Structure 1
Amino acid sequence: MATVEPRKNPKWVRPAVDYGGLVLFLIGFLIHRNLMEATWWLVAGSAIGLIVGFVFEKRLATMPLLAGGAALVFGGLTLIFHDTRFLKVKPTIINLAFAVFLLGGTVLKRNPLKHLIGEALHLTDAGWRTLTLRYGLYFLFVAALNEVVWRTQSDTTWTFFRFPGLQVLALLFSFSQVPLIMKSAGEAEALHVGDKPVAPDE
């Protein structure tokens, strides 16, 4: 009997879930030149993104759920209190939370990053510790950078820093970690091969 392959989601689903809210936020700001108006677009886009993800993927992935949920919470606070500071401090709070999670795990001799993406990468314990430490420091840097930008620059500058600036920064940082990942993955593979039992001579 022929097996039925699971239906693949359209290619636009994942980008829509991950970036739909931010794209609409930028579009809203370019149209209205006003952060309060743009926040409505962000909230609507984030809600739609979560719904699309659930409809097509039959689940809410962890990272999109955190990002979308935070956008709804901070966006909602911005609209309720008519204060854009809630929107502006969101990247600070979220990145600080990630930094504490990763750096705290490192201090406790844990590998929280491995638990998050361990299925996608196979690294040595030393590689995971180094990668976790680097990402923790990166999130700490981004949190501080966001504070500097929103407190010293115009709404227009901060909006473009928020998107696509932070996404470009994250992409560049991730690329900079490729040498470490490849080196550690090679070492992990060598250890795995070395641990295999040697077949007896026939």
Structure 2
Amino acid sequence: MSEQNDWRKQALDLGPVLLFVGGYLLVRDQSFAIGGRDYAGFVIVTACFIPILALSNWLLYRLTGKVSRMQILTLVLAVVFGGLTVALNDERFFKMKSTLAFGIFSGLLWIGLARGQSWLEFIMDGALPITHEGWMILTRRLAVFFACIAAANEVIWRGFSTDVFVAWDTFGQMAAMMGFFLAQAGLLKRHSTEDIPPRAR
């Protein structure tokens, strides 16, 4: 991928999140009367976020020729729970999205592990140059991590303000993911296949 396309990909990945946060900060204390019903700013921003996220995924596909399976599942959940949030005028549905998404991710990884397989390797198309054993260890760790993120999301959306939830749902989860993968540097180094003959992997 060219440097220009790489910049565009980053913009498409982060753009919807930044627009969601910016939009929420602008209208969080406002209420909008539409069709005889009052909608909180969070619900309005959610309604705008769904098509923006869908558009960014479509543009990402046009740019790179593919969209990851995790991105597709995230989009589906955003559409379903975002749609319920708007249709029922209840922000709780959108706040549950991360709980279900990470819960599903964790569950799928555990199912694969129970079958002696790393479905993470399948999802990531073998993007990391590590051995099968390395993939299994990473998958196990990520399954636990995703379960923790799902649990944390439940605690945060139920026990804290919407402002805290928005910060967590955007930058908090992103920082947690970055921290997790940075912490796996030792694992990736120990199980690297870059210096191993293909038959020995």
Q: TM-score, normalised by structure 2?
A: 0.84
Q: What residue in structure 1 maps to residue 104 of structure 2?
A: 97
3-state SS of 1:122 partner: coil
Contact residue 102 and residue 147 of structure 2 kept, 8 A: yes
> Is 1:168 aligned with 2:178?
no
Q: Structure 1's 193 and 143: CA in aligned 2 closer, same or farther, altered over 3 A? A: closer
In the TM superposition, residue 8 of structure 1 has moved relative to its aligned partner by 7.3
Q: Which residue of 1 aligns with 2:50?
A: 43
User: Gaps (5+ residues) in structure 1?
Assistant: 1-5, 196-202
Q: Closer, same or farther in 2 for the Cα pair 1:104/1:59, shift >3 Å?
A: closer
Instruction: For residue 32 of structure 1, report the CA deviation from its aligned partner.
Output: 0.3
Which of 63, 73, 80 is the equivalent residue of 1:73? 80
CA drift of 1:22 comes to 1.8
In structure 2, C-alpha distance between the alignment counterparts of 1:194 and 1:76, rounded to whole Å: 49
Deviation at 1:138, TM superposition (A): 0.2
Secondary structure of the corresponding residue to residue 5 of structure 2: coil
The 8 Å contact of residues 24 and 41 in structure 1, kept in 2 or not, is answered as no
Q: What SS class does the counterpart of residue 116 from structure 2 fall into?
A: coil
% of aligned pairs identical? 28
Conserved? CA contact 2:70–2:123, under 8 Å: no
- The runs of 5 or more residues in structure 2 that have no matched partner are 29-40
How many pairs does the alignment contain? Answer: 188
**Mapped contact 1:21–1:44 kept (Cα < 8 A):** no
* 2:187 pairs with 1:192: no
- Checking the alignment, whether the CA contact within 8 Å between 2:98 and 2:153 is kept in structure 1 is yes
- Which AA in structure 1 matches 2:128? L
Q: Deviations over 1:125-147 (max 9, x none)?
A: 22111110000000000000000
Q: CA separation of 1:124/1:31 partners in 2, compared to 1, >3 Å: closer, same or farther?
A: same
- Residue 8 of structure 2, aligned match among 13, 16, 20: 13
The aligned runs of 1:92-171 (5 Å cut-off) are 92-171=99-178
2:21 is matched with which residue?
26
Give the stretch that moved more between structures: 37-46 or 63-72.
63-72
AA matched with 1:109 = G
SS at match of 2:81: helix
Q: Which amino acid aligns with 1:94?
A: A
Give the number of the structure whose alpha-carbon radius of gyration is greater: 1
Q: Which moved more, 1:98-107 or 1:17-26?
A: 17-26
Q: Distance in 1 between matches of 2:61 and 2:198?
A: 40
Structure 1 residue matching 2:90: 3-state secondary structure: coil
User: Take 2:59 and 2:111, find their aligned partners in 1: how far apart are those partners?
Assistant: 34
| In structure 2, distance between residues paired with 1:178 and 1:45 | 34
- Deviations along 1:44-79, one digit per CA (max 9) or x if unpaired, are 321221232233334444333222232222211110
